[in-house]
Chains A and B, each alone.
Chain A
């Protein structure tokens, strides 16, 4: 399987501030990838670089083996649902479908019609009058009906209520199951991704902090609690991701491929949310970077 996305030293700068830096990432095909990180971590930048809305200031990116956004055929292979799902407010659903059909040679009219019907959307209704959930569903329909090999969704559920969120993600899973596109989906909430994703990329402060298969990540990370330990006492193949200590007790999140053998620890599995939170904490930062660096 080839990679759907291959980035090497990728960076994007706005003025003096790097929105994304030193991003090296290989995402295999056929995955539903969750791209998580706090607001402003660079998720949107990475997605817009992938679809060709932005051009890198450093490094390179290849999507489905091609340079993003450079040719009609490359554009046709990538579907994109932008943040806050912008719409032409004066256009009806039918007009929007017509627009999609005119602008995409690979347009699948039957798929679009079927989904509109399934969603119960009135095809004469203006986009400006749709609810948030309907707008998101329509945007997904338009992105899917061009039959992309890779579907990128930028915070598609961030503004939806829990029910609409659930329905949207369900819709997404149905489409993926039926038409088999790879998906990269960003969110600042892990809970959104947990149910649908099988691959995870964590972005913090414009850098990729973690990337991998969710099952493998969960298997190789452990929460250790026990009497107070010094982190240096751990074996070398156990990387401390985050730690917290009280006078008597230590609790560590460690990454280790081998089982934890020290009997003084009580070892627990992490759930995805705890895992992501551990990587978002500043401990890892301190671990990887020189102490002298001043952080804003």
Chain B
């Protein structure tokens, strides 16, 4: 039965493998150059001691590929679901060949188990290999960006994409049995996969572990700043981030926290709070720094709404505020990258197994 399943999977399998090889060749050609440029720059900037400030030229190499890579890795499991999963059983049901397949000397349970097992493993292999290659190719970029935990980067690194591929495949197979139409099953698989990925990324992943909270002094190199509510909209002064703030009402002002980067970590929010955990009120800010009241009026006329040179008065004000106000960063540290990866893979694998169970149960219910 295994060889039969292999034979019937031949066309899809060969196409999948072919695309994987094309992808591998493109990455194998461009990857070494990327790594070389990175290494060359690292040694030169180390010599010049300006690694922290000089932009790494690697970021400007192979721009289209840099853009396409996350997209390709994100879309691959969906394609696996559509072409390996949705058509796997739906086509047999649609064309009536299940009557042929299930009347040979192989029980239906074994037939299904072998098909799901074999094509499921192939799906996971594609997801895994693709991610492994992308991971390797993008490693110089990751070294520069220090953002592996970011929402977009997380899903094309590590092991989570293996889970995505397994899930998409199982979703396709289940949809195929439920709908008994290949095209309809494909549509449902595509939509379902995107919905599941978005739901897990935005609703589940942030809650896998409670974030670490860290207190930092208010004044750091980049920020903080102020946001003024104005009649024509909102005015910013040295505001790097608006995390945790509502747009202030007209005549009000809010303090924005400085931008804090955690290398390869995942920053949830950066807020400026007092010791009791409250954001400073407009009233408190005006009282502590009468100068910002005046500035507010000046700003309405001159409108410097991007970070720029800080007036001395503002710097003095921030120093004054720093005695009562802190920056609080909520984040997942880089060390949690792998636990998060395994957890997300586990979630999708569990869902995939449940869908396989549903497929078997439904198949028995329908044709038994």
List chain A positions with a Cβ less than 8 A from chain B: 48, 51-55, 69-73, 75-76, 78-80, 82-84, 86-90, 95, 98-100, 102-106, 146
Answer whether A86 and B99 are a contact pair too, CB < 8 Å, given A54-B368, A102-B3, A103-B4.
yes
Interface residue ranges, B against A (CB under 8 Å) = 1, 3-4, 7-8, 11, 95-97, 99-100, 102-108, 110, 367-368
Bound complex: CA A78 to CA B102 (Å): 12
Cα distance, A102 to B4, chains bound together (Å): 7
Other contacts beyond A51-B103, A53-B99, A86-B99: 20, CB < 8 A:
A52-B102, A52-B103, A53-B103, A53-B367, A54-B367, A72-B106, A72-B110, A75-B107, A76-B105, A80-B103, A83-B96, A83-B99, A86-B96, A88-B8, A88-B100, A95-B7, A99-B4, A100-B104, A103-B4, A104-B105
Q: Is the CB of B11 within 8 A of A84?
A: no
Instruction: For A82, give its contact among B3, B7, B100, B107 (CB under 8 Å).
Output: B100
A-side contacts of B106, CB under 8 Å:
72, 75, 103
Q: Contacts A53-B367, A54-B367, A54-B368; is A69 near B102 (CB within 8 Å)?
A: yes
- Taken together as a complex, chains A and B put the C-alpha atoms of A240 and B99 apart, in Å, by 40
Q: Is B368's CB under 8 angstroms from A103's CB?
A: no
Distance in Å: Cβ of B109 to nearest Cβ of chain A: 10
Chain B residues within 8 Å of A98, by CB: 7
A-B contacts, 20 of them at CB < 8 A, read A52-B102, A54-B368, A69-B102, A69-B108, A75-B103, A78-B103, A80-B103, A82-B103, A84-B96, A86-B95, A86-B99, A87-B97, A87-B100, A88-B95, A88-B100, A99-B104, A100-B104, A102-B4, A103-B104, A104-B104
User: Could you tell me if A72 and B367 are in contact, using CB atoms closer than 8 angstroms?
Assistant: no
Residues of A within 8 A of B108 (CB): 69
Q: Closest approach, in angstroms, between the C-beta of A126 and any C-beta of chain B?
A: 13
Closest to A77 in B: B105
Closest Cβ–Cβ distance, residue A107 to chain B (whole Å): 9
Chain A residues contacting B107 (CB-CB under 8 Å) are 69-72, 75
Tell me the bound Cα distance from A48 to B366 in angstroms: 13
Whether A86 contacts B100 by the Cβ 8 Å rule is yes
Contact B103 A99, beta carbon cutoff 8 Å: no
Across the A-B interface, give the 8 residue pairs with the lowest CB-CB distance, nearest first.
A86-B96, A103-B104, A82-B99, A76-B105, A80-B103, A55-B368, A104-B105, A86-B97
Give complex CA distance A53, B108 in Å.
9
Residues on B with C-beta less than 8 A from A84 are 96
Whole-angstrom distance between the Cβ of A28 and the nearest chain B Cβ: 23
Q: Which residues of A contact B4 (CB under 8 A)?
A: 99, 102-103
Asked whether B105 lies within 8 Å of A72 as measured between CB atoms, the reply is: yes
User: How long is the Cα–Cα vector from A224 to B14 in the complex, in angstroms?
Assistant: 70
Query: Shortest CB–CB separation between residue B334 and chain A, in angstroms?
Result: 50
Within 8 Å CB of A103, what residues of B?
1, 4, 104-106
CA distance A72 to B3 in the complex (A): 17
Q: A82-B96, A99-B4, A103-B4 are in contact. Are A90 and B11 (CB under 8 A)?
A: yes
CB-nearest residue of chain A to B8:
A88
Residues in B whose Cβ lies below 8 Å from that of A80? 99, 103
Which residue of B95, B99, B105 is within 8 Å of A106 (Cβ)?
B105
Chain A residues, CB < 8 A from B367? 53-54
For A146, list chain B residues within 8 Å (CB).
Answer: 104-105
Nearest residue in B to A68 (C-beta to C-beta)?
B103
B159 to chain A, nearest CB (A): 34
CA distance A95 to B35 in the complex (A): 48
Expressed in whole angstroms, the minimum distance between the Cβ of B365 and any Cβ of chain A is 10
Chain B residues with Cβ under 8 A from A99's Cβ?
4, 7, 104
Among A54, A75, A80, A103, the one with the most B-chain Cβ atoms within 10 Å of its Cβ is A103
Q: With A and B bound together, what is the CA distance between A218 and B108 in angstroms? A: 42
Shortest CB distance B89–A (Å): 14
- Whole-angstrom distance between the alpha carbons of A97 and B35 in the complex? 53
CA distance A103 to B103 in the complex (A): 10
Closest residue of chain A to B106 (Cβ to Cβ) is A103
Q: In the bound complex, how far is the Cα of B100 from the Cα of A106, in angstroms? A: 16
Choose among B7, B103, B110 the residue with the greatest number of A CB atoms under 10 Å from its CB.
B103
Residues in chain A near residue B8, CB distance under 8 A: 88
Residue in chain A with minimal CB distance to B368: A55
Considering the chains assembled together, what is the distance between the CA atoms of A158 and B266 in angstroms?
67
Contacts of B96 in A (CB 8 A): 82-84, 86
**In the bound complex, how far is the Cα of B256 from the Cα of A246, in angstroms?**
104
Which residue of B is nearest A96, CB measured? B100
Contact of A88 with B97 in the complex, beta carbons under 8 Å: yes
Contacting residues, chain B, for A78 (C-beta < 8 A): 103
- Find chain A residues with CB under 8 A from B103 CB: 51-53, 69, 75, 78-80, 82
